[in-house]
Amino acid sequence: MPLLLLSVRIFAHHDCKTGGNFRMQIGLIGLGKMGIHLAQNMMNNGNDVVAFDLDQDLVDEAASYGATKSSSLEDMVAKLDKPRTVWVMVPAGKPTESTMEKLAELLDADDVVIDGGNTFWKDSMGHNRMFTEKGIHYFDCGSSGGWKGALKDGNFMIGGDDKKVFDERLAPLYDGIAEKDGYLYTGKAGSGHYLKMVHNAIEYGMMEAMGEGFEVLEASDFDYDNAAVAKMWNHGSVIRSWLMELAQEAFEKDPHLDKIAGRMHSSGEAHWTLMDAMDKQVPTPVIYEALSQRFRSMQDDGFDGKVVSALRNGFGGHAMDKAK
């Protein structure tokens, strides 16, 4: 996934959402599906964005929306006024590790680093220790709502050891880019990514239940219009949700999902949740079964897998395998 770096400085400015007077200079690492939309969200709320990505075409795209371009991490850091705030939006694992290590070299005491990706929470705690030793404030931010939430009215779960820094320097940013009541300071470092991990594990269970339900309808003796069913269920029923809205959209494009395979890819959060739940002896049978079904789908092509794959594509732009 591409890289985008986001750094923040507060200016006097009228915010159209909250009515407050502030403005932030922002740089962003990772202009992928989430990052490019997040950059627009920030600029739409009156902030100045300085963008960096390894893919220059994505930097140019961000500039077309009004962002300032930078050619490297060093270049972007040099363009930011102190104290800086840097938002990292790259995949978990090696991309995040290398970015964090580089930022630890480039940034100064009292700067802020926000990790907005799906980093494993124990890794986040390690990053916090590394930055704290240098006097840099670290915050782990779980981001939900898919690319649409990144573009407008997002959902964010933010952990970090210094609540005063969060309240004074970061809350104004989230006031603008999040839905009303759509962000939460969750406590010490690691807690934001831990909460996002469990959030995603719950999501696994919800999507698997929806997939199984539509598979039963597909196998029934009745001729249901799946799109019409999803639309009806999303108007007044107990199971109405954005996921059901995405199911309707998927069925309207492909009534029986014939064009896609039933393989459900996974990104790690349910696995991490199960590992910690087992360590704490907390039974999580639904999450376990939902993850097991994803593993099964890599071997067998089922209709429930087609539904889940379509839902993942709908909210996060995740790739769908084509039917053979």
The residues carrying an active-site annotation are 196, 203
Say how many C-beta atoms besides its own lie within 10 A of residue 15's C-beta.
18
HSE-up of 157 (CA within 13 Å, CB side)?
20
Each residue of 184-198: b (16+ CB within 10 Å) or e?
bbbeebbbbbbbbbb
Which two three-digit tokens encode residue 175?
């006031």
Q: How far apart are CA 106 and CA 83, in angstroms?
A: 13
Give, as one character, the DSSP assignment of residue 183: E
Say how many C-beta atoms besides its own lie within 10 A of residue 242's C-beta.
15
137-144 and 68-69 strand pairing: unpaired
Each residue of 123-142: b (16+ CB within 10 Å) or e?
bbbbbbeebeeeebbbbbbb
Q: How far apart are CA 277 and CA 269, in angstroms?
A: 12
Say how many C-beta atoms besides its own lie within 10 A of residue 54's C-beta.
16
Amino acid identity for residue 99 in this structure: T
Quick one: which H or E segment has residue 109?
none
